[in-house]
A and B are shown apart, each in its own frame.
Chain A
Amino acid sequence: MQRKFCALALVALGVLVFSTPALAEIEFFGTAKVKPTYYSNLDFDDSKSDVATLNEAGWAAGEHVRAEVRLGWKASGEKWRIKMIAEGDLIYNKNNVDRSFYTGAEDANGLSNAGAEFGIERAEFAYTFAPALELSTGWDIRALDIKSGGLLYGDDHPFIGLKGALAEKTRYELLYLPIQNSEAIGAADSTKTGDWRVYSLKLSQGVGDLTLSPLVAFSDNTSKKAQVTYYGLELTGKAGPIKPSFEIIGADGDFKDGADISSWAMFAGVEVPVGKVFNPYLAYRFTQGDDDKNDNDAEGFVGITDIGRFTPLMGMDGNVLGEHLASGASIYNSPLYSFSPDRAVGGNNYGGIGNGSSGNNPGQSLIAVGTKGDLSEFVDKLTYKAQAFFIWYDETGNLINVKNPGKSVDDYAGTTFDLQAKYAFSKNFAVDYIFSTFLLGDGIQDQVDADDPAYVNMLTLAWTY
């Protein structure tokens, strides 16, 4: 069905292009990424076999090749624009690439790999009424704090939005995100069953070369019976030669007939451009943890989607901490894209990617140091990024010490080290490689009674057009 729709959309677009030559500017674009990857020991225990974890293409363990293929088109006129992106995201497997839905093509879970089908992954439709008022809707990337720590929200959920410029340096964005709207036939109060809606407002005020952005978001998560209001402030920009970024988010709410939700998180980072080869940064990322899962307070910070993996300072497309260290694959329990262990412990569940995070999570205090640069002085078109994260749990009261039963878990979770190098053969083709490892601290050793690092090795062959 998705393929038919996609083909129909392309035909309709072609008719439109040839029959109305002066109607709009139309542009085609796309990417094709092939990622041979090796996950090793995400459970931190060499004596156990690795179980599959989840990435964008589906369940994968050990050596696998993920392919993400996107074809997009944009049409725009003076005040309107439309964008659609069709995507196929799959693990190299005959059953995925050769028409997924035939009998016998089911995966080990008995499911066909629907992600392999080439369907509309993202869409955006917009009209600009005035500089102060642009209406947009669809299911495309929207974010509240992706330019700083990514603690609260960044994802491609469905949305209806209004945004614009109130003055030369003042902008706003109002978003309605119907993240989940799942009806249950015959269920009482069915209009609210399985629903999760978020309403947000962000203002951005330019102050010199800095941008100050207060924001507020209300998460009405009836699916998990939790309502949370997030308040925050973000700061980005330049101060002389350095680039500071900062955010602070507070969360206040409660579960219906359940625990109070009260938590906070912050991020602070600074990048100093020293030279072409060496551009260091220092960052601190904090999410509050819960100290007692049996009390009536869910104090572990849970955002709407922690999007740390794609933030400017600490982000990397494939480091170990940004992978899905959850769903049984790893005790650390940070879901895909998140840097904090917001799925750890369990109970008081709400929010996070897939609505699967826990208000009882231990939180995190993370210091990041890194550098990036252009190595063309040595090898033309070669660039790199290297970083190390030093990770502590904020609270360990809910964690279980397996190594020394009865004793508390140490608060130092571990250290990650990431190294990425990229060679751009041309504007349209580049190859990059990531080596990433998670070295255990006493905190994780206590929980797994083992001391074996986890590794991710990922090669990316990327075509862009």
Chain B
Amino acid sequence: MKRFTYFLFLFCCLSLVCLSLAWAGSWPKIEAALSSWEGPRQVTLRTDLRDPLSSTQVQDLLELLLERGFTVIPAPPESRVSEGLILDLRTAGAGSVLALSRAADGAILAFERQQAEKVSPAAKPLEPAPVPQPAREVAAAGREAFAPGPLELSGRPKRLALLGAAEEGTFDIALLYDDVLEKIRVSAGGAAPLGEWRPQVASSRALHVDTGDLDGDGALEIAAVWAEDLRGIYQGTDSKIHTWVFQVEDEKLYPSGTDLEGYLRIAGGKGVVQKRGTYSPFAGPVLPLVREEEGYRTGAQPILWAGRNLYEATPLSTEEALALNERGNLMLVSLATGKALPGGVLLEDLGAFAGPEVAVRLESPEYRSGFEKEDRIKETYHPLPRRMLVGSDGTAYTVARGRSEGLPLVGRPSGSDALVRVVRNGRSLRLERPFAGVDAFILDFALLERPGHPVAAVLLLNEKEDGSGKAYLLFQEGP
């Protein structure tokens, strides 16, 4: 009996600790006033901070308000508010003050002071994102290097990037397969493999490939990203990310440095990297790729990326980017804050595009239909979004998915995919369809910009949406 009395005492102490931790917050008076508020669940947050979202105080306040079911309207200090609550945050000397008042009559319901936020002495403003490099400009080769129709490829490449013209009438392309990176040379006569490199990774899948002159030597490097699926009987599947940068010498591919173990993209001639989270497909800020003597490493200074993941936003300038909203529409956003710019939404539906997937283990598996391993959801799959490339005129190009596989078992594929471009007109966006639709799934594409010629594209096509069917290369010229 004694030991259980002791156990009961221990249990009560622990419960009190948990409850006190639960109840304690950074602004107890504000929280208490919010809990007792019975009016409209709306708070106007007025602050004199220049960039409110970058303030940890504002971030904590937003989490507090949103968790309690309030909608939050940011506003400048002088805004007039007629409904709900007003939360005024002002910096004052060495600290800040918070006042919660009732909009109807201005009555102050709670007031708190806080010490100033500690500012890291080493804090620097985020680097602006690299402005996307225009699509490859090709002086010589172009149309004549490609067959007039789709060129069937051996194997099942999943991604491609352009390397440029080699000899007259030929063009070099990097193709990324699940288990190999291959450099091929296309000509009117077909495609010839040149060099290849295989990751020493079992169970790999192709995610992304890009080319760019990362070291400023005038030659293009290739950045290739694979996912390695790590499986556990009871733990499910988890994808580890592998990335190498390759130099091309004498038609052979040489990895430059070690595995970066993070997603990589080349934008504006510069590499940008983002890591995976333990239980999330992306984690942490987008970081620069830094050249070292023996290869490359991930830099430490975050890059402005509209608060999105690496492949979900495409910078158009040092201030604006294209990103998807929660409904899947493209929109113009601020690169610094990620906020949508007024009037910058493209309402046209580009179709549901599901790129290669990254498997992420769940921290707590869901017991969907039972206890056994087959009955549990142990991981989630996250498809990468469609590629978006920016031309030299600032126009963005991407894939519009119009083709579908049809009904399971009985359906046949139908519809057409097409490469489309998104044109800016001030702050508004307009969709144009300069290229003909194709009766195949567009897995990936690259742009060719040649002086005196319209923009052209090289498409990687496949009979099946997941890239498991026959693959083709197709050259398309715009109007």
Contacts and interface: CB of A to CB of B under 8 A. Distances in A.
A131 B4 contact: no
Contacts of B37: none
A262 interface: yes
A107 interface: no
Interface in A191-242: 203, 205, 212, 214, 216, 231, 233
Given A262-B4, A380-B203, A203 B15 contact: yes
Contacts of B326: none
B1 interface: yes
Contacts of B194: none
B27 to A, nearest CB: 13
B462 to A, nearest CB: 18
A130 interface: yes
Interface stretch (A95-103, A164-172, A345-353): A164-172
B374 A383 contact: no
B407 interface: no
B74 interface: no
A147 B371 CA distance: 12
Given A167-B22, A167-B25, A250-B3, A216 B231 contact: no
A168 B371 CA distance: 28
Nearest to B373: A317
B233 A420 contact: yes
B233 A262 contact: no
A233 B9 CA distance: 13
Contacts of B202: 376-377, 380
B374 A372 contact: no
Contact of B230 (A147, A203, A276, A422): A276
Nearest to B381: A427
Contacts of B235: 372
Contacts of A31: 369-370, 374-375
A70 B369 contact: yes
> Interface extent on A, as a size class?
35 or more
A29 interface: yes
A208 B8 CA distance: 26
Contacts of B23: 166-167
Contact of A383 (B7, B15, B231): B231
Nearest to A463: B374
Contacts of B15: 203, 214
Interface in B351-390: 364, 367-375
Contact of B374 (A33, A279, A315): A33
B11 A310 contact: no
A315 B234 CA distance: 9
Contact of B11 (A168, A205, A214, A420): A214
B119 interface: no
B231 A424 contact: yes
A317 B372 contact: yes
Given A212-B14, A231-B11, A376-B202, A165 B67 contact: yes
A312 interface: yes
Contact of B18 (A30, A72, A214, A384): A214
B369 A72 contact: yes
Interface string B381-404: 000000000000000000000000
Contacts of B375: 31, 70
Nearest to A313: B234
Interface string B225-266: 000011111110000000000000000000000000000000
A154 interface: yes
A96 to B, nearest CB: 20
Contact of A131 (B69, B231, B233, B370): B69
B63 interface: yes
A105 B420 CA distance: 65
Nearest to A430: B374
Contacts of A216: 11
Most buried by B among A141, A262, A373: A141
B21 interface: yes
B134 to A, nearest CB: 40
Nearest to A216: B11
A70 B370 contact: yes
A85 B203 CA distance: 34
B22 A385 contact: no
B72 to A, nearest CB: 15
Contact of B232 (A205, A383, A432, A464): A383
A317 B11 CA distance: 33
Interface of A is mostly: strand
Nearest to A421: B233
Contacts of B69: 130-131
Interface in A419-447: 420, 422, 424, 430, 432
A462 B374 contact: yes
B231 A203 contact: no
A279 to B, nearest CB: 8
A432 B368 contact: no
A267 to B, nearest CB: 16
Interface in A62-89: 70, 72, 85
A208 to B, nearest CB: 13
Interface in A263-296: 264, 276, 279
B18 A262 contact: no
A59 B14 CA distance: 45
Given A312-B234, A374-B231, A376-B202, A29 B369 contact: yes
A89 to B, nearest CB: 10
B14 A262 contact: no
Contacts of B4: 231, 250, 252, 262
B7 A310 contact: no
Contact of A372 (B7, B11, B21, B233): B233
Nearest to A131: B67
A256 interface: no
A141 B371 contact: yes
A376 B11 contact: no
A384 B234 CA distance: 10
A122 interface: yes
Interface string B53-86: 0000000000100011100000000000000000
Nearest to B238: A374
A167 B18 CA distance: 10
Contacts of A312: 234
A76 B451 CA distance: 54
A315 B232 CA distance: 13
Interface in A159-190: 165-170
Nearest to B60: A168
A68 to B, nearest CB: 8
A3 interface: no
A462 B370 CA distance: 14
B63 A231 contact: no
Interface string B1-34: 1011001101100110111011101000000000
Contacts of A252: 1, 4
B18 A205 contact: yes
Contacts of B373: 317
B21 A167 contact: yes
Nearest to A86: B369
Contacts of B368: 29, 72
A279 B232 CA distance: 10
A231 B232 CA distance: 33
B424 to A, nearest CB: 33
A230 B411 CA distance: 57
A233 B374 contact: no
Contacts of B17: 205
Contacts of A276: 230
A459 B374 CA distance: 14
Contact of B22 (A170, A315, A380): A170
23 contacts: A31-B369, A70-B370, A72-B369, A122-B369, A131-B69, A141-B370, A141-B371, A147-B364, A165-B67, A169-B21, A203-B19, A205-B17, A205-B22, A231-B11, A250-B7, A262-B1, A276-B230, A312-B234, A380-B203, A383-B231, A383-B233, A420-B233, A432-B233
The 6 closest A-B pairs by CB, nearest first: A170-B22, A166-B22, A376-B202, A141-B367, A310-B371, A376-B203
